[in-house]
Structure 1
Amino acid sequence: MDRNSSTERTLTSLSESFERYLQDKGKGRAGDGGNYRRNAARELERFAGWTAGDRGADDWTGIVPDDADRAPTFEDLDERIFREYARHLAGDRGLKQNTVQTYYRYISAWCGWCVNEGYLEAHYAQRASAMAPLPEDSGRKPGDQQAWTSEQRHALTQHVDARARAAVETYTTLAEDTNLVDKQRARYEALKAARDRALVVVLAYTAVRVGELLRDPNDPRRRGVRWEDLSLEDGSMDVYRKKQQWDAASLPDPVISPLRSYRRLMDPPTERWPVFPTFDQRTLATLVQDELADRGEQPAAIDERRNEYARDLLLTLDEDIRPPSITTDGARSILQRLSDTADIDIDHPKHDYLAPHGGRRGMGEVLVRAFGYTVAARYLDNSEEMVRQRYSHIEAGELGDVATDALEAVDDVDRS
């Protein structure tokens, strides 16, 4: 059965997905070891019991409709369910604030995996409304938030670069007598790898907020950057900033070549095309069918036209059917996939992958250490006061070095 089919999303019980998820996240050849697997398994078991109505409260019957006699399935999940579970963790079990956050992260990570595997259409657990009942993590300090280290940044960018180079080379070196479908499949894989590389380097080096770069379904002004917003010659990109206005962001040298190569490969029909379009097949299939129908095509003709292409994305390029940009949830899913395939060592209490905001914070670390808070604030589009607060751990470390030098100087005087 196709794992991405709506039938499997509807009928598969939640518990059937747990072992697959835990095996993917576990350590060892069989994926059956590791502290993360053990802790995640415990929380998933508790979540499964809660969804089935086992909460110890008379008024809670679980997430299955009262007229259905079955175990909970993915059909029953949406952001309201995760909001209710967040409320349950925060209020029903007497847990500490940080513990609530930790337990919810295990469920959220599983939810993200389910999106990648096709069980869920969206990362409901990361929606703002779902997380609203969670308490503030009172123990978090600015330096505790994820920031890509130079080693992680290098490992991820090298990984996506190698993948893109290999995919593009495979496509561009196909024999002339290769059949059309195989050529289309190779082009699609090259486009996907090139898009992923471009997305990673932009997040890694520009310090642009992911919400400024990609589409927000709840804000029509944030439709994702288009090619018309980029000036590769000038090294700049227009983005809709957090401060509710358009502004130019810098595109440093490591970003230019991957974007230029990606654009040549895509050859967008117009400048209004998104730089980072969705590759989701369900979304593109619906888009193509609706657009061709609006152009007067009959269903049979539409099916025939689609059958000429290995992927609907390639048809959208030929027919100038502009797809939507990927969303911030989509970017998280991509980075989860790439972090796994790159086998990057990640030790963080909240994320088991390199999250999009970590690229921005990682660049902030680099800029503060190299050029100070004033320059970093300009690049990050933040006030200097905010940057000083967010990266206060850097100044604290530098002051510690000053204090050490002062103590050593005093000791030298005393000994002389």
Structure 2
Amino acid sequence: MPERAPSTPLDDSFERYLQDKGKGRGGDGGNYRRNAARELERFAEWAAGDRGADDWTGIVPDDADRGPTFDDLDERVFREYARHLGGDRGLKQNTVQTYYRYISAWCGWCVNEGYLEAHYAQRASAMAPLPEDDGRKPGDQQAWTSEQRHALTRHVDERARDAVEAYTTFPEDTDPLDKQRGRYAALKAARDRALVFVLAYTAVRVGELLRDPNDPRRRGVRWEDLSLDDGSMDVYRKKQQWDAASLPDPVISPLRSYRQLMDPPTDRWPVFPTFDQRTLAELVREELAERGERPEAITEWRDEYARDLLLALDEDIRPPSITTDGARSILQRLSETAEIDINHPKHDYLAPHGGRRGMGEVLVRAFGYTVAARYLDNSEEMVRERYSHIEAGELGDVATEALEEVDSHT
């Protein structure tokens, strides 16, 4: 991924983003593209100081004679924009949420493309001024349906199988760097498959699975935390203690084949390491320098590898786990490439928490609230509240059956 200069103007990214999001040949069509283009234009005008309150001058420093650039963006900017959207403009609460999601989706894309270092728009502090979605019931929150779960897992499984087959069937005379590129592609596809399967079937909270930059205790699960033979995984729970989570059968094979392909130097390696090239490049340079290598030697060493991740594996330079923001970006990418039909007011992709809620739906319907509560690591009371729409539907069926019974005797 090419590194983008922080001085790049914001609107330089708009057309590429809209092409990626658009439909049809060249990405020129589609309702989403049209709506996103409108909101990006509004955001750019606001950032330049052309919208907002009378005293609003934009996000560019007063002593700078230029337009807004990526260097001007941080979570405080998105917080101010959320406050601007929620101001006295007569917009409904769900409309404010929708407008902000267009900008948030662009922000996530900018992270993937190297324009930004972090998904600032998804930070809790940035989203805090957004109005609450009044009247939203727990059942209205995203939960992956069986069709969506199967579509996504089938997609990542096919991608991983194809990538691994391509890597393992290279001719003997293949250029070493080309073979390394094949291994890297296979590792990335296998990691994505394992991540999706874990999120889809374990109901583990994404914050328990991956790294939280603001909490050193949440450093992401490592291979030493997994017992594939026993079907369990140790995670740091929301209740601030370590606990064992179940790894059901569908998860074991993707994890086992992924581990075999990665062959981590030690069990202390993260199960889901970052593949961000900028992060890995800095990590490799710093670690090798600490080991006494000269800058020239480090450069030559890195040139022997197609990707720094492969050098890190060979030299046991342990990378950090991906973050929860990273997982959201991965799922956004995979939801798009899988062309999954998603009709939800808040998310245009299969969000990580939707996998947990989807499994909750399955467990409540199949085994009841008590079993579901144990699997979800929640109280039965909370599970009953969160999935109250299921009980309401079942009671409706009972009422219908009762009415039919009465009617048949009258």
> Normalised by the size of structure 2, how large is the TM-score?
0.98
Q: What residue in structure 1 maps to residue 141 of structure 2? A: 145
The aligned amino acid for 1:344 is: I
Q: In the alignment, which of 175, 178, 186 is matched to residue 179 of structure 1?
A: 175
Match of 1:363 in 2: 359
Partner of 2:76: 80
Is 1:39 matched up with 2:59? no
Q: How far apart in 1 are the matches of 2:133 and 2:354? A: 18
User: Counterpart in 1 of 2:117?
Assistant: 121
**How do 1:132-281 residues align onto structure 2 when only pairs under 5 Å count?**
132-281=128-277
Cα distance in 2 for partners of 1:272, 1:378 equals: 28
After the TM superposition, which residues 101-112 of structure 1 pair with which residues of structure 2 at under 5 Å, given as runs? 101-112=97-108
The question of whether the paired residues in 1 share the 8 Å contact of 2:360 and 2:372 is answered with yes
Q: Which secondary structure state, in structure 2, belongs to the residue aligned with residue 6 of structure 1?
A: coil
Tell me by how many angstroms 1:29 deviates.
Answer: 2.8
**How far is 1:182 from its partner?**
1.1
SS in 1 for 2:285: helix
In the alignment, what sits opposite 1:284? 280
Separation in structure 2 between the aligned mates of residue 261 and residue 238 of structure 1, nearest angstrom: 20
CA shift, 1:11, in A, is 3.4
Please give the alpha-carbon distance, in whole angstroms, between the structure 2 residues aligned to 1:55 and 1:182: 50
Q: Which runs of 4+ in 1 moved over 6 A?
A: none
1:4–1:119: 8 Å Cα contact kept in structure 2?
A: no
Most deviating of 229-238 and 141-150: 141-150
Give the secondary-structure state (helix, strand or coil) at the position aligned to 1:249. Answer: strand
CA deviations on 1:68-94 (whole Å, 9 max, x unpaired) are 111111111111100111111122424
Mean CA deviation greater in 135-144 or 152-161:
135-144
State the distance in 1 between where 2:316 and 2:23 align. 45
Letter in 2 for 1:4: P
SS of the residue 1:248 aligns to: strand
Please name the residue that 1:397 is paired with. Answer: 393
Aligned residue identity for 2:71 = E
Deviation per CA, 1:192-213: give whole Å up to 9, x if none.
1100000000000000000000
Offset of 1:55 from its aligned partner? Answer: 2.2
Match of 2:2 in 1: 4
Q: Secondary structure at the match of 2:139?
A: helix
Offset at 1:144? 1.0
**Contact between 2:272 and 2:322, CA under 8 Å: does it hold in 1?**
yes
2:333 to 337, 357, 374: 337
User: Residues of 1 paired with 2:344 and 2:113: CA distance?
Assistant: 23
Residue deviations 1:277-332 (CA, integer Å, cap 9, x gap): 00000000000000011111111111111111110000001100000000000001
Partner residue in 2 for 1:130: 126
Paired amino acid for 2:141: Q
The residue aligned with 2:296 is 300
C-alpha separation in 2, matches of 1:303 and 1:6: 21
Counterpart of 1:373 (choices 364, 369, 391) is 369
The answer to whether the 8 A contact 2:52-2:84 is kept is no
CA distance in 2, matches of 1:199, 1:148: 15
User: Match for 1:325 among 300, 321, 324?
Assistant: 321
Q: Contact 1:98–1:139 at 8 Å: present in 2 too? A: no
Identity of aligned residues (%): 87
TM-score w.r.t. the length of structure 1 is 0.96
In the alignment, the residues of structure 1 paired with residue 284 and residue 16 of structure 2 have an alpha-carbon distance, to the nearest angstrom, of 33
Q: Which amino acid aligns with 2:295?
A: P
Letter paired with 2:32: Y
Unaligned runs of 5+ in 1: none
SS in 1 for 2:155: helix
Indicate how the Cα distance of structure 1 residues 38 and 6 shifts in structure 2: closer, same or farther if over 3 A, else same.
closer
Offset, 1:22? 2.1
Sort the Cα spacing of 1:56 and 1:312 in 2 relative to 1 into closer, same or farther, 3 A: closer
How far has the Cα of 1:56 moved from its partner?
4.5
Aligned to 1:27: 23
Any conservation in 2 of the 1:188–1:314 contact (CA below 8 Å)?
Answer: yes
Question: CA RMSD for the aligned pairs?
Answer: 1.2
Letter in 1 for 2:149: R
Amino acid at match of 1:340: E
Aligned length: 410
Change (3 A) 1:16 1:401: same
- Once the two structures are superposed, residues 164-201 of structure 1 have per-residue CA deviations (whole angstroms, 9 ceiling, x without a partner) of 11111111111112121111111111111100000000
**Structure 2 unaligned regions, length at least 5:** none
